[in-house]
Structure 1
Amino acid sequence: MNVKKISLILLGGVAALLLLAALLAPRLLGFSVAQLDDAVRVATGMGAKLACSGRFISGFEPSRIVEDLASYSPANRLLELEYGDDRVSATLLGMGRTSAIYREGLGCTLDIGDTGPLDRVRVTPVETNGEEWPLGSSVSSIDPVLQERVEAMLAADNRAGLQTRALLVVQGGRLVAEAYGPGIDAQTPLLGWSMGKSLTAIMLGRLEHLGLADTTATPVFSQWQDDERAGITMEDLLQMSSGLAFDETYAPGSDATEMLFNAHSASDLPLASPAALDPGSHFSYSSGTTNLIARWMHDRLGGAQANLDFFRNEILQPLGMAHTVFEMDPSGVFVGSSYIYASARDWARLGQLMLNRGELNGQRLLSEDWVARAATPNGSDNEPRYGYQFWLNRGGASPRYPQLPEDVFLMQGNRRQRVMISPSTDTVVVRLGWSASRYPTGENFARLLPGS
């Protein structure tokens, strides 16, 4: 067979694949043929990034990674994922090759543009000890009755297909119950998705406590000083009421997917977003605004190394968080909206810090005033039940979770990641998993409160 004939066969195969995609896409794959280019870029970017982090941070097998990706779109089953010693590449129907690279202590980053800043970063591990949680790794306070309930709840969740991977309860400052799914233990870092927004806010709160940030100062960025965005404050960003136009829908070509899976700098797109509404007037959930906060901290502290050192020295080490990875975008800025992997015990440490009004392990990291503001309803005209990157149970016409105390506030992330902080019951509950459908947060968490 000559070269010309082979080329015609190959071209015919590609044409057939494109025709197949065009026929299947609207009904089976979840996007139209007009979105094919965007869909390929999103699928391969998402596939490479999540597969890399899932493999090298969480230690997942490729089969689990494929199922996790397919929960977002059946098209992801068509991804070809190639695993190397420190990277993963992805193609879809032979198109859109994208790769993500793993760096010890930094996690995985898409290989887009100049990633030199990441290559120059040096990571210092968090020091650990055998002291009792939350200071160290020892746990001797398990309540056998509650432990049995937590184990039964996790098993019931997974029989129902909810894929709960970690479930943990802290009461009175002591870790009293924890259970884990197959292949996961107390040290396994798991993706929190948008729970990272709360951690990003905590970092800003630490900066404020050190006198390095002001939530009321304007303009937040010099690029906004001469237009209608000049009046946006950091508090507006924290409360998701900046008024900036940003498309949070997770569809091919949207602002959110471009930012997370195709951009060299995750904050560039929201930084250039125009004003659509008056600052503070309207709540509009936006991962872009969180990445603006991360960008501001990056600039304020002076680059990737300084940000990583701050995170390690001012958050991780004081809290004893030895199993947490905060990933950066290819430009070296933390992806504060989405890419934080932490063990259930580390997520619980953050919850306990907030429950203790900013103090943990004998150190005050946040002011009591900042914690109070973080859990206070915003002043928007449509959804006041959101504080400083925390979801609130109170503040609206009805509680977000009627089964839970009114003062509850939460970190929440995609696939029903949850850290519940309940001041009136002195309780923190962590739930990590991969639920594509509704998770009974209120019903389940109410059964884990004291006296239930």
Structure 2
Amino acid sequence: MKKTITLLLGSAAALLLALALLAPSLLGFSITQLGSAVRVATGMGAKLACSARFVSGFDEARIVDDLASYSPANRLLDLHYADKRVSAALLGMGRTSASYRDGLGCTLDIGDTSTLDQVQVQPVLTNGDEWPLGSSVSSIDANLQQRVEAIVARDNAAGLQTRALVVVQDGKLLAEAYGPGIDAETPLLGWSMGKSLTAMMLGRMEALGLANSQSKPVFAAWARDARAQIALEDLLRMSSGLDFDETYAPGSDATKMLFNAHSASDVAMVSPAMYEPGQHFSYSSGTTNLLARWMHEQLGGDVQASLDFFSREILQPLGMAHTVFEVDPSGVFVGSSYIYASGRDWARLGQLMLNRGEWRGEQLLGADWVARAAAPNPSANEPRYGYQFWLNGGGDALRYPQLPADAYFMSGNRKQVVMISPSTNTVVVHLGWSAGGYPTGENFAELLPGA
């Protein structure tokens, strides 16, 4: 018995020594951050692996490679897949799990999630009508299709992992190409492109008279301090003045919010005011999750009501049959990050914006709201951001000099992009897993009319 204990202690000491030596150079964090790093790694591993497996349908090898693109430490994760649930541990530490529910996707098993088991999600029915009204596509342009396929092949030969590239012009789907194991129905993670969809849901609420961008205080808890002056529009423009740490490192606000919290919005809810509202742009995923929380509360504070609204007002009208908007363990949409949609469904959202909010004769979003969403904000440091959309113009220089000045974008980590270009009547969707840079401007320019 004593010998066994001695061996175990020796193994533990050896493990700690190995971690101390490996952490800074190989794993990307200091040994002093070990606890937070383990929680981030296992939370991220369980959540992303669950969604990748059960929403996107990826195999385990691809999932590990995708996780490792964030940190080599993720290759050390022990991932277990069973009964629509994935658990993750790092070298035996911090085991965390996430569970899949039909229509809801995956949610970390943190705290009481029993209310999610009662939710019913109605599928979106499709028909054989021509895209975007249905699933049929007979408008492919041979020349443009060849260019799209060449870009995807070139990207993937260079290790950029493009998984979907879709081009829509004049309301017609003219070209689409997909990477290995992906097709026109595969839901793919948009990361921060979800911020734009969250804003569009607020735009739909405004069109229905359920929201006012000038409303303040946004939350009753803010009524007695400086945050009382923050309006919904300030949150939409990322110029609320709230102090939120967007750094993606162990222990930061952002990682705690996405990978370790029962309520994602709770993290930003207690953020203090640092700047006067409207004066300073500061990109913050916490801000978007505050918007999602506000919507949830306005819709009755009930997960079923929120999902019904999303389905009735966005998914069903647009025919988005291959989209999943995931919630946090408390039942609130993780608007900052967790929306999975096919390339065609992301293109539908872009087309709705290009249509100035009109869809099949119905004004889903007010034309004025769409104009405000694509207009520069009044901050002193970065005006090239609208209502959760990045703008090409509006500042001292174009974000992408190769692209039209009026273009604006949904944009997410790993180079997820939906470009809306009013002057060329074009939508371009890029989905993938590019860990480094991606030639967005150059590639998209090749796909514009007249290129």
TM-score bracket for the superposition, by shorter chain length: over 0.9
Q: What residue number does 2:446 align with?
A: 447
Q: What residue number does 1:316 align with?
A: 315
TM-score scaled by structure 1? 0.99
Q: What residue number does 1:340 align with?
A: 339
Q: What residue number does 1:20 align with?
A: 18
Q: What residue number does 1:202 align with?
A: 200
Whether the aligned pair in 2 keeps the contact of 1:86 and 1:101 (CA below 8 Å) is yes
What residue identity is the alignment partner of 1:16?
A: A
What residue identity is the alignment partner of 2:289?
A: N
Whether the aligned pair in 2 keeps the contact of 1:393 and 1:408 (CA below 8 Å) is yes
Separation in structure 2 between the aligned mates of residue 8 and residue 151 of structure 1, nearest angstrom: 60
Q: What residue number does 1:5 align with?
A: 3
Find out whether 1:372 has 2:371 as its counterpart. yes
Find 1:226's aligned residue among 220, 224, 244: 224
* Residues 112-140 of structure 1, C-alpha deviations (whole Å, 9 max, x = no match): 00102211211111111111100110000
Please state how far the C-alpha of 1:79 moved relative to its aligned partner: 0.5
Separation in structure 2 between the aligned mates of residue 7 and residue 311 of structure 1, nearest angstrom: 56
Separation in structure 2 between the aligned mates of residue 398 and residue 280 of structure 1, nearest angstrom: 21
Give matches, 1:33-432, under 5 Å: 33-302=31-300, 303-432=302-431
Q: How many residues align?
A: 450
Please state how far the C-alpha of 1:359 moved relative to its aligned partner: 1.1
Q: Which moved more, 1:305-314 or 1:118-127?
A: 118-127
SS of the counterpart of 1:166?
strand
Please state how far the C-alpha of 1:198 moved relative to its aligned partner: 0.1
Please state how far the C-alpha of 1:14 moved relative to its aligned partner: 2.5
Separation in structure 2 between the aligned mates of residue 133 and residue 9 of structure 1, nearest angstrom: 65
* Residues 67-99 of structure 1, C-alpha deviations (whole Å, 9 max, x = no match): 000000011011010001210000001000000
What residue identity is the alignment partner of 2:215?
A: A
Q: Aligned-residue CA RMSD in angstroms?
A: 0.7
Q: What residue number does 2:30 align with?
A: 32
Whether the aligned pair in 2 keeps the contact of 1:66 and 1:77 (CA below 8 Å) is yes
* Residues 214-259 of structure 1, C-alpha deviations (whole Å, 9 max, x = no match): 1101100000000000000000000000000000010000000000
SS of the counterpart of 1:267?
helix
Please state how far the C-alpha of 1:11 moved relative to its aligned partner: 3.0
Separation in structure 2 between the aligned mates of residue 8 and residue 326 of structure 1, nearest angstrom: 50
SS of the counterpart of 2:145?
helix
What residue identity is the alignment partner of 1:9?
A: L
Please state how far the C-alpha of 1:153 moved relative to its aligned partner: 0.4
Question: What is the identity percentage for the equivalent residue pairs of Structure 1 and Structure 2?
Answer: 76
SS of the counterpart of 2:165?
strand
Please state how far the C-alpha of 1:10 moved relative to its aligned partner: 2.6
Whether the aligned pair in 2 keeps the contact of 1:134 and 1:361 (CA below 8 Å) is no
What residue identity is the alignment partner of 1:142?
A: I
Please state how far the C-alpha of 1:316 moved relative to its aligned partner: 0.1
Separation in structure 1 between the aligned mates of residue 332 and residue 292 of structure 2, nearest angstrom: 7
Q: Which moved more, 1:356-365 or 1:378-387?
A: 356-365
Separation in structure 2 between the aligned mates of residue 224 and residue 325 of structure 1, nearest angstrom: 32
Please state how far the C-alpha of 1:361 moved relative to its aligned partner: 3.0
TM-score scaled by structure 2? 0.99
SS of the counterpart of 1:354?
helix
Provide runs of 4+ in structure 1 moved above 3 Å: none
Separation in structure 2 between the aligned mates of residue 369 and residue 37 of structure 1, nearest angstrom: 48
Separation in structure 2 between the aligned mates of residue 382 and residue 94 of structure 1, nearest angstrom: 45
Separation in structure 2 between the aligned mates of residue 407 and residue 86 of structure 1, nearest angstrom: 44
